[in-house]
A and B are shown apart, each in its own frame.
Chain A
Amino acid sequence: MITKRIIPCLDMTEGKVVKGIQFVNFRDAGDPVVLAKQYDKQGADELVFLDITATTENRNILLDVVRRTAQNVSIPFSVGGGIRSVEDMRLVLENGADKVAVNTGAFNNPKLITDCANYFGRQCVILSLDARQVKKNRWNVFINGGTTDTGTSAVEWAKKAVALGAGEILLTSIDTDGMKKGFDIELTKTISKNVNVPIIASGGAGKIEDFYEVFKKGRTDAALAASLFHFGELTINQVKNYLRNKKIPVRL
């Protein structure tokens, strides 16, 4: 049986790992390579690395950090931030990433998803979708590091992106991000029901029970967390042991 994944996320800027609240007020969380090695040892199922200011600063991703991180981990490693072309994606893969997340670049140019999927296979293309609730049962897609409301429904964009070739969705709720009051269950469940690719739920993990909730009620395939793990409030093993006791299949 396929197991549910627990994924620590390294949000990067200027070569350092940071963690914000609702995409602002960033706090330094340390060296990416050190953290990545630590999570690999602790039993993380995968790592996600997002260069969160590559798009807003209109620059390319930090390939050197990607390479050094990849050299030091033995688990899958996904990278996103500032990907605008097949060539950008190729460079990231060449430096040791296994999957690549597209966000603003794909929203502005949806053909990017199809081009990357045709070239590298859809399993390699993650749609990173940042959403915020605008009214009851309606979430909009935000781009440019969460600063721009596109006016487009998150559900519609998720469906379109999967039809275009996205193989997985990294779904971040801006509302719950960094708030540590639990994942956005409604958003996660709604997107998960509407597409047939794996979902990684992100934003809001604050206590161990939140992980159970998002797997059980949010119907997600993977859960991502940052500050909880970076600041040592929980270890990955604690989360997995808890989930196993609650009959959620995990790899221990």
Chain B
Amino acid sequence: MIVIIDYGLGNLGSVKNTLNKLGVDSMISKSIDDIKKADALILPGVGSAKQGMKNLKERGLDKILINEIKKGKPFLGICLGMQLLFSSSEEGNTECLNVVDGKVKKFSTNLKVPQIGWNQMKYQRSNIKVQKLFKKIPNKSSFYFVNSYYCQPDDKSIVVGETEYGVNFCSILIKKNIVATQFHPEKSGQIGQQFIKNWIKLI
């Protein structure tokens, strides 16, 4: 059972719809018991970092998430769900979950902010896990992005894919059991569904 974490924010319905289409058992839940029992967790994201952390804390979900991630449970963070893993975010100067060292920064570019739309992701097939995650996904495929902020991990070796929007930023990272994407695979058409399918096979 995959648990999509309900923290009162985010497009939970979209993620659930995608998993339903793939025939994967999943539930949307904020129950600590469900999260502990889950085979894997998804932290989706549409929202502001400040509100996101506030909601996680109010529900007592911040500590449980950190624990489950540290125990090695497969975890997929999407968009804000990726950013919240970092040490801190410039969005509302928010302290985040700090399971990935680094910062979340605002785009400073002449381009329009937020970035909204389909952009290409270039990846490095550095190891078998990455190869499996990108099975049937051609390099430089377009994925859907909606973000004003981007992640800057301290450890560059966890960056497996990058996207250009004024700067080259980390659009996907893998750190042990964590996969986190700045793009929205649940909104990226056939390619996005393939990505989620690949992730499910990995877990």
Contact = CB atoms under 8 A, between A and B. Distances in A.
A251 interface: yes
A242 interface: no
Candidate in A2, A45, A97 with the most chain B CB atoms within 10 angstroms: A2
Contacts of B120: 1
B11 A98 contact: yes
Interface string A14-40: 000000000000000000000000001
Interface in A193-245: 196-198, 221-222
A108 to B, nearest CB: 24
Contacts of B112: 196-198, 221
A145 to B, nearest CB: 25
Given A75-B144, A167-B116, A98 B47 contact: no
Contacts of A4: 117
B142 interface: yes
Nearest to B52: A121
B89 to A, nearest CB: 11
B97 interface: no
B184 to A, nearest CB: 7
A70 B21 CA distance: 12
A70 B144 contact: no
B12 A3 contact: no
A191 to B, nearest CB: 12
Interface stretch (B67-75, B123-131, B187-195): B187-195
Given A1-B164, A118-B51, A197-B114, A76 B119 contact: no
Interface residues of A, number: 38
Contacts of A123: 46, 114, 116, 146-148
Nearest to A44: B189
A93 B21 CA distance: 19
A124 interface: yes
- For the residues of B in contact with A, the DSSP-based class is mixed
B189 A74 contact: yes
A121 B187 contact: no
B80 interface: yes
A2 B115 contact: yes
B116 A1 contact: no
B118 A1 contact: no
A122 B46 CA distance: 9
Interface string B1-38: 00000000111111001101100000000000000000
Contact of B46 (A124, A168, A251): A124
B26 to A, nearest CB: 14
Contacts of A124: 46-47, 146
Contact of A96 (B13, B21, B148, B188): B13
A119 B47 contact: yes
Which 4 residue pairs across A and B have the least CB separation, nearest first?
A96-B13, A123-B114, A251-B118, A121-B48
Interface of B: 9-14, 17-18, 20-21, 46-48, 50-51, 80, 111-120, 142, 144-148, 164-165, 184, 186-190, 192-193
Interface of A: 1-5, 40, 45-46, 67, 70-71, 74-77, 93-99, 117-124, 167-168, 196-198, 221-222, 251
